[in-house]
Amino acid sequence: MDQLALNPTDLEVYMQENDIPGELLHLDVPTPTVAAAAQAVGTQPERIVKSMLFLVAGLPVLAITCGQTAIERRALAAVYRVGRKKVKLAKPETVLKETGFEVGAMPPFGHRDPLPTWIDERVLEQPEVYAGGGAENALVRLAPADILQATQARVIDLINPPGDKLNQEAS
């Protein structure tokens, strides 16, 4: 394990120091995917929150969504007024360097430094969610509003491309 990596203990300390309510769950099985995480805690995939680091014109930006939905890069591109090709999913080594956590274990907060954060509006529709807990066998159970407050995220539709009226009317 890389000495730079943060872990569930670091996350728990961060939550206590910042009065973030939630429960850190240490699981008997790894949860590298949304499906595995949902099965491990006995919930629907929509209640599993994934935090993904993107580089937008080279700057790190965190995007939070739920379930197995794909984040639409054009949504982030529109916010930052750059072309879609300027929005790239960060490589695992970049995720570790920028956040302190490894891919598949990254929580929505508690990173080395605060990141500009965008949260998909659908996350806030869930009564309770499970997010990365700092290790592949740890999750944090908490209310979506607590993620919003802890990250100071801005709410956006991260699933439908901006201006895509057909998709927006169908959802």
pTM over 0.85: yes
Structural domain includes residue 17: yes
pLDDT tens per residue, range 148-161: 999 999 999 999 87
Alpha helices in the chain (DSSP H): 8-17, 34-41, 73-80, 92-99, 144-151, 165-170
Q: Give the domain extent around 77.
A: 8-160
Say if 3 falls within a structural domain. no
Q: Does any domain span residue 165?
A: no
Taking phi over 0 as left and psi of -120 to 50 as alpha, with beta for the rest, 43 belongs to beta
Q: What is the model's pLDDT at position 112?
A: 93
Mean pLDDT, range 44-57, rounded to an integer: 96
Instruction: Kindly state the DSSP code that residue 48 receives in the 8-state scheme.
Output: B
Residue 23 lies in a domain: yes
Count CA within 13 A, CB hemisphere, residue 105: 24
In a domain, 65, yes or no: yes
Residue 125, both tokens: 């529709």
Q: Say what the pLDDT of residue 4 is.
A: 72
Is residue 170 domain-resident?
no
> pLDDT tens, 61-81?
999 999 888 999 999 999 999
**Assigned domain for 166 exists:** no
Sequence-separated (6 or more) residues with CB below 8 Å from residue 166 = none
140: pLDDT confidence band, cut at 50, 70 and 90? very high
Mean pLDDT of 52-58: 96
Say what the pLDDT of residue 143 is.
97
What's the confidence (pLDDT) of residue 169? 44
- The yes-or-no verdict on residue 166 having pLDDT over 70 is no
Assigned token pair, 168 = 């927006």
Assess whether pLDDT exceeds 70 at residue 132: yes
Kindly report, residue by residue over 78-94, the tens digit of the pLDDT: 999 999 999 999 999 99
* Residue-level pLDDT at 78: 94
> Which whole number is the average pLDDT over 32-57?
95
What's the confidence (pLDDT) of residue 32? 85
CATH number at residue 63: 3.90.960.10
Q: How far apart are CA 130 and CA 149, in angstroms?
A: 16
168 occurs within a structural domain: no
User: What is the dihedral angle through the alpha carbons of 47, 18, 9, 127, rounded to the nearest 10 degrees?
Assistant: -10
Count of domains in the chain?
1
